[in-house]
């Protein structure tokens, strides 16, 4: 489809020698087009919001007219704008953040929090992250937090996003008391006397996050989205897919439109159901296009946790805890219900499935719900899919499912070897095997927004190097693959005639930069639909 559009655009060009000149040309560049038919070029011509030609500098310069703006890239690398296929923007009232190592002990948390409360005014929200060490310590509870910080609202979140601890002030702030019942898919954990111990798992934590987000005033929410967008543009990100924000969908999309940011945003609904409340997944979606750059489409579900807290749902027990194999957040019947609903609707389906048993539960539901030729049109997404066992790959392929992976998750080899053991480590987080099987692959950052860290992680794969892919394949997954995952491959994800002129001129060559320099790569010029939305002045 896109190739036909591209050919037409070229025909129009050559058949119309006196046609309007490009508005802008970018020349003397090393252009990675992400278009397999013509992966490399030197120059791009843009008219209006679209690319009209890609070629060598001489051919593109020949198209320029007297009013054409000429941007000389000076040999720099140009790529299609990054499309982050899986991201979150956390919305919360203004807060102070604890400075902690990645996986702190509770003594380190106590010390950091003890120091923070001497400078944060009373009632101020304080946030921080923890890892496996704190979560496994039974002392890590609401009572322990209250003992250190009785007068501040303290919310600590696992760096995996799975697991939260709050103190009594936060419970008060968000209106949760002992009478609360566990929601569908989650748990408010309790002590031996049955009182809330401040720990929250899965959908219970999502509900707490949502209630906290709703305490944030509108102007602050707009500021958060703008801050996010200005960072994104500086990294050459032109599209972001939000897979469940802390805000309810109607509020999130309204504020994103209000923020008027230069990033194409796709916002997924994240249905959740408090105990006794009505189900939201079958409600009709919001109008899909509240503004030209914002689209509301798709449903996100979370089937399990992650291996860090051993809540990724595995077929066999974790190697370092013979009684633990994680669990499904939702019963299989409920999974069948929303998968069946998606089969009969136009809505996109995006399902977080981490462990091999969770992926199996999802794939089985898809297989039961309908015919492969229909599913192939719907492109059901597996978010993460880390423990995609070899037997699952052909089933995923057969149902036309695709994988959205997050390479910064590959960077904990020590903990993976403990959790899974060598045998499972050998097939974990398959990227190369997925591409080889012909399964569409998209990359989303899911946390670490810097795309160049993710591209490096995909091309090294510290946890399972034989599943590494090339940097070109990683950039393709971050552009063309991500566009395919949102049904936009005819519009963006490649620099080819007819495509939207979303692109980034990079400060260094992402394909050849030494690994140590990857994380400092930035965009020196980001273009969104032919409009410059970020520039450092390096390209004139
Ligand atoms: Zn996520």
- CB burial class (10 A; 0-12, 13-18, 19+) of residue 177? exposed
Q: Say yes or no to pLDDT of 17 above 60.
A: no
Question: Cα(47) to centroid of ligand 1, in Å?
Answer: 36
Strands 381-384 and 24-27: unpaired
pLDDT given at position 284: 60
Q: Say yes or no to pLDDT of 540 above 50.
A: yes
Question: Cα(403) to centroid of ligand 1, in Å?
Answer: 13
pLDDT given at position 280: 60
Question: Cα(243) to centroid of ligand 1, in Å?
Answer: 6
> With the CA atoms of 92, 93, 95 and 99 taken in that order, what torsion angle do they form, in degrees rounded to the nearest 10?
0
- How does 348-360 read in b/e, with b if 16+ C-beta sit within 10 Å? bbbbbbbbbbbbb
Question: Cα(477) to centroid of ligand 1, in Å?
Answer: 17
Question: Cα(159) to centroid of ligand 1, in Å?
Answer: 11
How many Cα atoms are found within 13 Å in the side-chain-facing hemisphere of 54?
A: 28
Q: For 139-148, write each residue's pLDDT tens digit.
A: 999 999 999 9
Question: Cα(512) to centroid of ligand 1, in Å?
Answer: 29
Query: What is the 8-class DSSP label of residue 108?
Result: H
Sign of CA dihedral 285, 289, 291, 295: positive
Q: Say yes or no to pLDDT of 338 above 80.
A: yes
Question: Cα(448) to centroid of ligand 1, in Å?
Answer: 11
- In percent, the amount of the chain with pLDDT more than 90 equals 86
Mean pLDDT along residues 373-387: 97
Mean pLDDT along residues 514-522: 98
For residue 299, CA distances in Å to 283, 338, 362, 484, 524 come to 11, 9, 14, 17, 35
How far apart are the C-alpha atoms of 157 and 164, rounded to whole Å? 4
Mean pLDDT along residues 111-131: 96
Sign of CA dihedral 132, 134, 139, 141: negative
Question: Cα(177) to centroid of ligand 1, in Å?
Answer: 28
Q: For 188-235, write each residue's pLDDT tens digit.
A: 999 999 999 999 999 999 999 999 999 999 999 999 999 999 999 999
Q: Say yes or no to pLDDT of 7 above 70.
A: no
Question: Cα(193) to centroid of ligand 1, in Å?
Answer: 34
Band the pLDDT of 282: cuts 50, 70, 90: low
Helix (H, G, I), strand (E, B) or coil at 443: strand
Mean pLDDT along residues 42-50: 97
Mean pLDDT across the chain: 93
Question: Cα(436) to centroid of ligand 1, in Å?
Answer: 25
Quick one: three-class SS letters along 342-400? HHCCCCCEEEEECCHHHHHHHHHHHHHHCCHHHHHHHCCEEEECCCCCCCHHHHHHHCC
Question: Cα(86) to centroid of ligand 1, in Å?
Answer: 6
Tokens standing for 106?
């509770």
Helix (H, G, I), strand (E, B) or coil at 137: coil
How far apart are the C-alpha atoms of 441 and 481, rounded to whole Å? 6
pLDDT given at position 419: 95
Question: Cα(39) to centroid of ligand 1, in Å?
Answer: 30
Question: Cα(85) to centroid of ligand 1, in Å?
Answer: 10
pLDDT given at position 283: 62
pLDDT given at position 64: 96
pLDDT given at position 15: 30
Question: Cα(450) to centroid of ligand 1, in Å?
Answer: 15
Q: For 176-187, write each residue's pLDDT tens digit.
A: 999 999 998 999
The strand ranges marked E within 421-482 are: 441-443
Q: For 388-416, write each residue's pLDDT tens digit.
A: 999 999 999 999 999 999 999 888 888 89
Out of 23-27, 160-164, 272-276, 529-533, pick the least confident.
Answer: 272-276
Question: Cα(182) to centroid of ligand 1, in Å?
Answer: 22
Mean pLDDT along residues 294-314: 93
Structure-model confidence comparison of residues 511 and 161, the more confident one: 511
Structure-model confidence comparison of residues 107 and 447, the more confident one: 107
Closest CA to 265 of 285, 288, 283, 299: 288
The values of phi and psi at residue 242, to 5°, are -90, 115
Question: Cα(444) to centroid of ligand 1, in Å?
Answer: 9
Question: Cα(492) to centroid of ligand 1, in Å?
Answer: 23
DSSP-derived secondary structure for 490-519: TTSSS-STTSB--EEEESS-TTTS-HHHHT
Question: Cα(60) to centroid of ligand 1, in Å?
Answer: 41
């Amino acid at each position: 489809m896109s190739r036909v559009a591209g050919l037409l655009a070229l025909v129009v060009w050559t058949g119309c020698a006196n046609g309007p000149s490009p508005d802008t040309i970018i020349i003397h560049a090393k252009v990675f087009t992400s278009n397999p038919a013509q992966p490399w070029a030197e120059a791009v011509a843009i008219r209006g919001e679209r690319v009209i030609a890609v070629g060598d500098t001489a051919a593109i310069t020949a198209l320029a007219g007297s009013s054409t703006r000429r941007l000389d890239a000076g040999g720099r690398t140009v790529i299609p704008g990054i499309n982050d296929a899986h991201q979150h923007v956390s919305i919360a009232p203004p807060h102070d953040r604890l400075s902690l190592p990645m996986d702190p002990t509770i003594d380190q948390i106590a010390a950091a929090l003890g120091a923070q409360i001497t400078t944060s005014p009373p009632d101020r929200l304080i946030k921080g992250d923890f890892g496996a060490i704190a979560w496994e310590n039974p002392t890590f509870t609401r009572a322990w937090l209250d003992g250190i910080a009785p007068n501040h609202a303290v919310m600590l979140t696992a760096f995996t996003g799975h697991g939260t601890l709050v103190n009594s002030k936060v419970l008060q702030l968000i209106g949760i008391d002992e009478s609360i019942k566990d929601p569908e898919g989650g748990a408010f954990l309790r002590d031996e006397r049955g009182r809330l111990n401040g720990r929250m798992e899965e959908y219970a934590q999502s509900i707490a996050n949502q209630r906290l987000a709703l305490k944030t005033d509108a102007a602050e929410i707009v500021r958060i989205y703008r801050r996010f967008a200005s960072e994104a543009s500086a990294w050459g990100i032109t599209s972001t897919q939000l897979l469940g924000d802390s805000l309810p969908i109607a509020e999130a999309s309204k504020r994103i439109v209000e923020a008027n940011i230069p990033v194409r945003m796709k916002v997924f609904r994240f249905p959740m159901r408090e105990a006794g409340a009505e189900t939201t997944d079958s409600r009709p979606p919001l109008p899909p296009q509240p503004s030209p750059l914002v689209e509301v489409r798709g449903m996100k579900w979370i089937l399990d946790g992650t291996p860090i807290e051993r809540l990724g749902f595995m077929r066999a027990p974790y190697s370092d805890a013979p009684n633990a194999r994680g669990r499904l957040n939702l019963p299989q019947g409920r999974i069948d219900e929303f998968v069946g609903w998606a089969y009969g609707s136009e809505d996109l389906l995006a399902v977080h499935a981490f462990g091999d048993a969770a992926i199996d539960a999802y794939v089985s539901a898809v297989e039961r719900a309908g015919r492969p030729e229909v599913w192939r049109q719907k492109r059901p997404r597996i978010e993460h899919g880390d423990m995609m066992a070899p037997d699952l790959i052909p089933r995923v392929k057969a149902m036309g499912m695709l994988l959205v992976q997050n390479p910064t998750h590959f960077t904990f080899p020590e903990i993976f070897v403990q959790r899974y053991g060598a045998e499972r480590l050998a097939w974990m987080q398959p990227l190369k095997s997925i591409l080889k099987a012909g399964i569409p692959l998209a990359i989303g950052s899911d946390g670490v927004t810097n795309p160049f860290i993710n591209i490096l992680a995909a091309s090294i794969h510290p946890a399972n190097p034989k599943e590494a892919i090339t940097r070109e394949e990683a950039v393709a997954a971050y552009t063309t693959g991500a566009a395919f995952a949102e049904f936009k491959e005819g519009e963006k994800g490649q620099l080819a005639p007819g495509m939207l002129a979303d692109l980034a001129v990079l400060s260094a060559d992402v394909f050849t930069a030494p690994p140590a320099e990857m994380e400092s790569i930035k965009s020196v010029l980001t273009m969104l639909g032919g409009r410059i939305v970020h520039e450092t002045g390096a390209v004139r």
